[in-house]
Structure 1
Amino acid sequence: MDPIEAAIEEIKSLPHDQSFTFSEIARKHGVVRSTLIRRYKAITEPCTVKAVKQHALTPDQEIELVAWINRQNEKRLPPLRRLVQN
């Protein structure tokens, strides 16, 4: 498990009436305090999640597009740019 995720899980597992500081938990897990705070408050997200959200196509759409292009190639029809964009 990612150290930041482990730190967030520890914070969530604490009783609501128990006090804590982000500094002590960040130090315990070896993470940067400001990053821990931003991730805990959902201000930022992991790079991998952000990268997936920036894709124009979902993984299923991408698979379907590749299959369509392969079918076009089998028919000896070039996949025209405007057709691929549609």
Structure 2
Amino acid sequence: MPAIDEAIAYIDSLALGEKFEYAKVAKMYSVNRITLSRRHQRVQRPRCTLSPHQEAKLVRYIKELTERRLPPTRSIIRNFMSKLATKDVSKSWVTRFINCNKNKLTS
């Protein structure tokens, strides 16, 4: 479980009305205070749309396309991801995914 999720779980486990400071919880879990408060208040959603298993499946799919000499275009990746996550993703999601997985993907 990511540290941000652990911090949110900790806050949620506190008794109703019990006082806490986002700064102290953020420091305790080594996460960004602003991100923690936004996620806890449900102002900001996590960027990650895939589970680690789904991410590995997508990376494997891209590698298979590359091995078969079919260049995996952004639209192909986006369509496959949408099927995996059962929801549409933005065009910028593909760019972020590629940048985050540079070391796993080769062109």
TM-score (normalizing by structure 1): 0.56
1:59 to 2:81 alignment: no
Counterparts of 2:85 and 2:7 in 1: how far apart (Å)? 33
Task: Please show how residues 40-55 of structure 1 align to structure 2 within 5 Å.
Answer: 40-49=40-49
Give matches, 1:21-36, under 5 Å. 21-36=21-36
| Distance change >3 Å, CA 43–CA 17, structure 1 → 2 | closer
Over the matched positions of the two proteins, sequence identity in percent amounts to 28
Q: Which has the larger radius of gyration?
A: 1
Runs of 5+ consecutive residues of structure 1 not aligned to the other structure: 62-86
Alpha carbon RMSD of aligned pairs, Å? 2.4
Superposition deviation, residue 49 in structure 1: 2.2
For residue 23 of structure 2, give the secondary structure of its aligned residue in structure 1: helix
Q: Structure 2: any 5+ residue segments left out of the alignment?
A: 51-77, 87-107
Stretches (4+) displaced over 6 A: none
Show CA shifts across 1:14-53 (max 9, x none): 0013111111000000001000011111111222229xxx
